[in-house]
Amino acid sequence: MALRIGDTAPDFEVDTTAGKIKFHEFIGDSWVALFSHPKDFTPVCTTELGAVSKLEPQFNERGVKLIGLSVDSVDDHKKWLLDVNETQGTEVKYPMIADKDRVVSKLYGMLDVNTADQVDAKGLPLTVRSFFIIDNNKKVRFIATYPASAGRNFFEFLRVIDSLKHTTHEKIATPANWKPGDDAVAVPSLTTEKAKEIFGADSVTEVKPYLRIVKGDAVVKMKGKVSI
């Protein structure tokens, strides 16, 4: 069965560039971003690892650990990371999983089984570009899949994390193209009256009974103070 939002993230023990890791122990009390790359020493993956490395402080500020994955060996990872650091002007510090046997890739449904040229020398499938956000309760909160040819926009994943953190702790949802500081919307289970009580009467506008706009400054002010 495919892994879905709300499922418990499968646990595993695996070799990484930071040594052997038990995934649930690695998560601990943090959130985690787990992301796959089709293969070491490839152009798009090289730019992606560099981009994530440069954004790592922003993920950390949000309480999110990073861990990458490719189907190559730890030794290959370490050699490749030298290239990444050199060409992308960074120093990759997050661990990279060596998933040569595709154990993690199968658990998380990452394998590209339908693209003929996405195989290794042994004919085994490579991974697609998957991205999972997993919370401190080990629950999958977000899943994205990109084809091998399309590099990901990692700023979007930061935006999603910001949205998830808000909607976890406050009775709001985030509308289309939302970014931190923008207006949000009250969740459907919340009455307009209750929304005004929580966020302030001047901060809530009822457009329709089901569409109540909450001013961005009120959302920021209430961050973490209201539980769903």
Q: What is the CA radius of gyration of the chain?
A: 20
Terminal-to-terminal C-alpha distance of the chain: 29
28-67 in b/e burial notation, b at 16+ Cβ within 10 A? eeebbbbbbbbbbeeebbbebbbbbbebbeebeeeebbbb
CA 186 to chain centre: 24
Q: 44: which strand partners?
A: none
Give kind and range of the element (H or E) at residue 85.
helix 74-88
Q: Is the dihedral of CA 117, 15, 94, 80 positive or negative?
A: negative
Instruction: Return the C-alpha torsion angle 98, 101, 103, 108, nearest 10.
Output: 70
Within 13 Å, how many C-alpha atoms sit on residue 186's CB side?
27
- Structure token digits, residue 195: 């929304």
Catalytic annotation present for 45: yes
Q: What is d(CA 126, CA 186) in angstroms, rounded to the nearest whole number? A: 42
Active-site annotation holder among 9, 32, 34, 45: 45
List active site positions. 45
